[in-house]
Amino acid sequence: MEVRKEFKLMFTSAKYALMREMLNKVTFFSNIIFMILNNASFIIQWIILYSIKDNVGGYSFKMVMLLWALASFSFGISHFFFKRAYNLSNIIMNGSLDNYLVQPKNVLLSAISSDVDVSAIGDIIYGLIVYFVCGFSIDTFILFLIFGITSSLIITSIAVIVGSLSFWFTKSEGFADRMNNMITNFATYPEGIFRGVIKIILYTIIPLGVVSYIPIQVLTNFNLINFLIVIGSCILFIIFAFIIFNRGLKRYSSTNLMIARI
Amino acid sequence: MSIIEVKKLKKEFKVKLKEKGFKGTIKSIIKPKYKKIKAVNDVSFSVEKGEMIAFIGPNGAGKSTTIKMLTGILHNDSGSIKVMDLDPKKDRKQLAYEIGCVFGQKEQLWTHLTPYDNFKFFGAVYDIPETVVEKKINELKELFELDSFIDTPVRNLSLGQRIRCEIVASLIHEPKILFLDEPTIGLDPVVKDNIRKLIKRMNKEYKTTIFLTSHDVSDIEKLCKRVIIINKGKVVLDDSMENLKYHYLNKKILDCKCKEEVNLSGEEGINIIKNKGVNLKIEVDTNKKSISDALKLLNPDNIIDINISNVPLEEIISNIYNDGE
């Protein structure tokens, strides 16, 4: 019941934020369309690359497209529903959490879902278009949707974790930004081109293994264990994000007032 | 029964110290030093249901910190807080249904949406069914006279209209206690007066307990029956408005214009504030000298014009602030 109420509020928040964004239809639609065009421009480099070579890092052209589809789709969902997770440092630093603390809802959820990123709708649409171009079947589509959600929840959790560092360290927003950018940058390259230390990092510190690579493997060749690994990691990341945020929240006050006093 | 009960409340902040200049920065990276600041130090008070209470003090006295602890935003280090029998630290969500907050300097409304949409949103935050919200909005719309601008986006409203909407937004869920932190900041006198009337009406109609902080003395004078003054994290006065005035208003200011100069220096109970020959301004302590005695000293025949007034409340309060230092 409690969880349902939280989700209801999350969608209501998104609805109102969307209402606000739609007040100006020119900016609204141009934001979406330009995001789609922006994403599409990256495909060109891959088309050129694959005209020279058939295989890059063990990925066929179709797999790279699938990688793009998933990355764009999940990135879109995360940025649309949880835009402010990527701005959490600032929310913590300037004391904006006060507003959510006096409301009878989960602070983290209300804070990160209090705004939407309209251009992320472009990412979502683009991800779906590329997926359909790659070929459609009911079972891969269901898997694609599931992985879209798990990946978006994992990258949101990471954004929350790095954003929450602001409870402990001032001026940590730069680090949070770079971490979030890194995930987006790496997520659109075939796994096989990375080796050694970088590969280890991609499966640990920057968990792109569970965000991109394993889902792509499962999408092209279903494997139950890998599927469960993704679901399990997603749950773990969410729990971890909540724990870190709630730990930090106990310190919230001091950071807030220190800023005000300095 | 008290609706707010605070006992021996304490809150400390750790503040990083840094010596001057770049060298100091390097030093503070290698070996950071901290200073502890007692923001709230042993504060106790209680508030009765339906009361309108002024919680005042100079900047940095600990007012906001106390309010934030009462509303569950900050956690206290020690002492106990009971708001409607709930502990804000543990029962934050439950408490949120019972209280409303308006922070004059912080916006909670969505600026691009209309007040109406905003109120609907806040209804959803507090899980109020649509039909009930609709009814409540209509009721508050009338009470707060929002009819003419309820469909105008908040960003196009004047500050006074916005504050009214902020208050309404925090009343949608019918809170039992309303925390108002400087609600009239930056408003012109007419709007201020209007807001005060509305707050008063709300207190009367809904029996809402009001916890108000303000630097505007007339806010306090016109609204509240009881004052708690806090300075340097401690309560320096907790008394009814009447008592405050009674105790501190035993002094009268006599501003008079005389025909000839009068020498009153050395008279007991009389303090000369300004003496410019025939223009004289004195403060009479009525416990020591009656007004009629003071007038006799001035000699009624000698007086061209006179004005007798109370010491302004503002002055009384700043005296109390200074006494605490």
Nearest to B112 among A20, A253, A262 (CB): A20
Q: Which chain B residues touch A23 with a CB distance below 8 Å? A: 112, 153
Q: Kindly provide the b/e burial profile for residues B88-121, where b requires at least 16 CB atoms within 10 angstroms of the residue's own CB.
A: beeebbebbbbbbbbbbeeebbbebbbbbbbbbb
User: Does residue A29 surpass a pLDDT of 60?
Assistant: yes
The larger pLDDT score, comparing residue B282 to residue A58, is at B282
* Closest CA in chain B for residue A11: B124
Q: Is A250 on the interface with B (CB under 8 A)?
A: yes
B260 and B174 in one domain?
A: no
B204 falls within a domain = yes
User: How many Cα atoms occupy the beta-carbon half-sphere of B73 within 13 Å?
Assistant: 25
B149 falls within a domain = no
Nearest to B101 among A5, A17, A102 (CB): A102
* Other beta carbons less than 10 A from residue A204's beta carbon: 10
B222 falls within a domain = yes
B220 falls within a domain = yes
pLDDT tens-digit readout, B76-105: 888 999 999 999 888 989 999 999 988 767
Specify the DSSP class assigned to residue A72: H
Taking an 8 Å cut-off on Cβ atoms, the answer to whether B125 and A105 are in contact is yes
B205 and B76 in one domain?
A: yes
Q: In this prediction, what percent of chain B has a pLDDT beyond 90?
A: 16
- Which two tokens mark A199? 């590969």
Q: Which chain B residues touch A110 with a CB distance below 8 Å? A: 125
B64 and B48 in one domain?
A: yes
* Other beta carbons less than 10 A from residue B16's beta carbon: 12
Q: How far does CA A39 lie from the centroid of its chain?
A: 16
Q: Is A105 on the interface with B (CB under 8 A)?
A: yes
Assign residue B74 the CATH number of its domain. Answer: 3.40.50.300
B227 and B96 in one domain?
A: yes
Q: Is A252 on the interface with B (CB under 8 A)?
A: yes
Confidence of residue A162 (pLDDT cuts 50, 70, 90): very high
B54 and B175 in one domain?
A: yes
Q: Is B93 on the interface with A (CB under 8 A)?
A: yes
B101 and B181 in one domain?
A: yes
pLDDT tens-digit readout, A190-222: 777 777 888 888 777 788 888 888 898 888 888
* Contact (CB, 8 A) for B69 and B75: yes
Q: Which chain B residues touch A9 with a CB distance below 8 Å? A: 124-125
Q: Is A94 on the interface with B (CB under 8 A)?
A: no
Q: How close does chain B come to A127, measured CA to CA in Å?
A: 30
- Which two tokens mark B191? 């709007």
Q: Which chain A residues touch B75 with a CB distance below 8 Å? A: 250, 253
Question: In terms of Cα–Cα distance, which of A197, A98, A252, A227 is closest to B170?
Answer: A98
Burial class (CB in 10 A: 0-12, 13-18, 19+), B289: middle
Assign residue B265 the CATH number of its domain. Answer: 3.30.70
Confidence of residue A172 (pLDDT cuts 50, 70, 90): confident
* Closest CA in chain B for residue A170: B16
* Closest CA in chain A for residue B128: A5
Give the residue from B202, B218, B245 where a domain finishes: B245
Interface confidence, given as ipTM, is 0.79
Q: How close does chain A come to B69, measured CA to CA in Å?
A: 10
* Closest CA in chain B for residue A105: B93
B174 and B237 in one domain?
A: yes
B219 and B100 in one domain?
A: yes
Measured between alpha carbons, how far is B92 from A250 in angstroms, rounded to an integer? 13
Measured between alpha carbons, how far is A255 from A172 in angstroms, rounded to an integer? 12
B135 falls within a domain = no
The larger pLDDT score, comparing residue A31 to residue B246, is at A31
B313 and B208 in one domain?
A: no
Give the residue from B230, B245, B260 where a domain finishes: B245
Mean pLDDT calculated for residue range A87-116: 88
Measured between alpha carbons, how far is B200 from A123 in angstroms, rounded to an integer? 51
Location of structure tokens 């009367």: B204
Which CA distances in Å does A157 have to A109, A167, A183, A236? Answer: 11, 16, 12, 10
B177 and B311 in one domain?
A: no
Which CA distances in Å does A1 have to A119, A143, A164, A194? Answer: 32, 28, 27, 45
Q: Which chain B residues touch A14 with a CB distance below 8 Å? A: none
- Which two tokens mark A197? 């230390």
B67 falls within a domain = yes
pLDDT tens-digit readout, A221-240: 888 999 999 999 999 999 99
Question: In terms of Cα–Cα distance, which of B35, B42, B44 is closest to B14?
Answer: B35
B99 and B239 in one domain?
A: yes
Count up the domains in chain B and report the number: 2
Measured between alpha carbons, how far is B126 from B130 in angstroms, rounded to an integer? 11
Rg (CA), chain B: 25
Give the residue from B245, B266, B289 where a domain finishes: B245
Domain enclosing residue B209, as ranges: 2-10+43-108+170-245
Question: In terms of Cα–Cα distance, which of B186, B214, B212 is closest to B59?
Answer: B214
Ranges under pLDDT 70 in chain B:
104, 249, 324-325
B147 falls within a domain = no
B99 falls within a domain = yes
B220 and B181 in one domain?
A: yes
